[in-house]
Amino acid sequence: MPIYEYKCSKCSEEFEKLVFSQSRVNCPKCGSEEVKKKLSTFGMSGMGKPSAGGGQSSGCGSCSSSSCSSCH
């Protein structure tokens, strides 16, 4: 039973909902069933942009230094 993020097409309310197999999802603010599942960013952390340096990467993803000693 996953929790999904939704956005209502009628009132733009954003909300989370615990979804059981075939249950319908209604907006908690206006009651509309015109809701869209949002793309969750959960699990996407750690995925950086590809570097423009032709496959060479820096020491870590949080800076452009070639050694992570400057990141600490």
> Structural domain of residue 3, as residue ranges?
1-40
Return the half-sphere exposure (C-beta side, CA atoms, 13 A cut-off) of residue 18: 1
Q: Give the global pTM.
A: 0.52
pLDDT tens digits, one per residue of 35-64? 999 986 655 555 555 555 555 544 556 566
Task: Check which CATH number belongs to the domain holding 23 and give it.
Answer: 2.20.28
In a domain, 55, yes or no: no
In a domain, 16, yes or no: yes
CA distances from 42 to 14, 39, 71 (A): 16, 9, 25
In a domain, 29, yes or no: yes
Query: Which of these ranges, 2-6, 26-30, 50-54, 62-66, has the smallest mean pLDDT?
Result: 50-54
User: Which of 10, 4, 17, 3 minimizes the C-alpha distance to 32?
Assistant: 10
Domains: count for the chain:
1
In a domain, 27, yes or no: yes
Residue 9, pLDDT score: 97
